[in-house]
Amino acid sequence: MASIFKKALTIFLVAFVLAAPTAAYERIVSLYPGHTDNIVALGGQSRLVGLSKNDDPSRLPELPRFAPNVGAEALLALKPDLVLTRTLVEKQNPELRGVLERAGVPMMLIDPPSWSGFVAYLRELAPLIGVAPQTAEAQLAQTCDEIRQTAAARRGGRPAPSVFVEATAKELHTCAPDSWAAHLIELAGGANTAAGAEPIRRGSAVAPWGLERVMKLLAEGLDVYLVQHGPMNRASLDEVKARPWAKALAAVTVAQIPEYWLSRPSLLGLTAGGAELIRIFYGE
């Protein structure tokens, strides 16, 4: 009888541990801007004590910023109870985790999600800042609905504008069909003309396209040539318009959008990027 009771108690305790929400943290260092954006969007900015140097300069400017190769001592000086990062950053600084954890500070890796994985990402991130997963999921659904409804109202029954995304100027790569950028363009009412592009490698957000295929799109009547601007593509609008083939863009809306709005998986990026795409597609 006692053994049965102990077994039942063990099963109950295991189930309780698995079902219990992740503890919220009070002093978080975020070493990836996407995590920062989502923490801010979910109302957890007061829990942040340090950011990545790649974060938006206007985002919490009073907080210290750190490069990927930051030493553990600089982070420990902030007395964090969690350092939140991604696999790419850890690869650039492989010694950091060991030093932090020996000092009693956990380091958690959460990689940027795909569009389809964004709900699971939010449900993992939200409890870290004391937000219920279902609240984060509802916020995402509301944001998407607002973008979709605004785009439909502005479109007013007109055909969806045909859009080409220049993800990188080199070899004119575009966004992969299953990328965050491609989904956001569709959500904002645009039609991705490079939907047949094949990613450079499985899971990549960019895909080869090339000048010849761009010229074909322009000849067929492209509406919007969208230049993603950021670390992947430093080309300015002036540089685009100075290219030898730029005359072919004469009848096309050529616009630039920040990479962190178009391609970074975040609630803030959805809101700002969706609004900017709608403005580009349909005017002020």
3-class SS string, 31-97: CCHHHHHHHHHCCCHHHEEEEECCCCCCCCCCCCEECCCCCHHHHHCCCCCEEEECHHHHHHCCCHH
- End-to-end, the C-alpha distance of the chain in Å comes to 75
* Cα separation, 192 vs 184, whole angstroms: 10
| pLDDT value for 22 | 55
* Cα separation, 82 vs 29, whole angstroms: 6
**pLDDT average per 10 residues of sequence, the chain (284 residues):** 46 39 85 98 98 95 97 98 96 96 97 96 98 98 98 94 96 96 98 96 94 97 97 94 96 97 97 98 89
| pLDDT value for 78 | 98
94-108 tens-digit pLDDT: 999 999 999 999 999
- Residue 119 structure tokens: 């709900």
Q: Would you put residue 172 in left (φ > 0), alpha (ψ -120 to 50) or beta?
A: left
pTM exceeds cut of 0.95? no
109-162 tens-digit pLDDT: 999 999 999 999 999 999 999 999 999 999 999 999 999 999 999 999 999 999
